[in-house]
Amino acid sequence: MTLEDIAKVVNRDKTTVFRCAQKLYQLGICNKETRSIREGGQYHVYSSIPMEVFKQETENRVREIEQSFRRIMKGFEKDLETMVSSIYRIPP
């Protein structure tokens, strides 16, 4: 769909749709194809990525977030043990 088509369907201003479409494109959630106008100029056509690709990418990002969270928690636990040990003079 073109930006104009999407704007009509969702009843929003074209600039709002453009910002949203650009964000989705940057996140890899949709595709953008540039097409030429015979009289000169260009326009973009946006399409969704296949559902399986979206699902796989989402699962990959969730795994990355989980790994980051685990690293943060390990660091927090280590720092907490160090702090408690120093307060109560418990040997590490």
Query: What is the DSSP track for 6-42?
Result: HHHHHT--HHHHHHHHHHHHHTTSEEEEEEE-TTS-E
The CA distance from 62 to 81, in Å, is: 28
* pLDDT, tens digit (0-9, with 9 covering 90-100), for 56-86: 999 999 999 999 999 999 999 999 988 888 8
Q: Look at the block and give the residue holding tokens 């685990």.
A: 70
Q: Which of 30, 48, 66 is the last residue of a domain?
A: 48
Residues 56 and 85 both lie in one domain? yes
Kindly list the distances between the CA atom of residue 21 and the CA atoms of 4, 17, 45, 72, in Å, as whole numbers in the listed order. 12, 6, 10, 33
Q: Does residue 22 sit in the same domain as residue 43?
A: yes
Residue ranges making up the domain that contains 61: 50-92
Cβ contact 10:20 at 8 Å: no
The SS3 assignment for 70 reads: helix
Question: Could you tell me the pTM of the whole model?
Answer: 0.61
**Tens-place pLDDT, residues 37-55:** 989 999 889 999 999 999 9
Total tally of structural domains belonging to the chain: 2
Residues with Cβ within 8 Å of residue 71, at least 6 apart in sequence? none
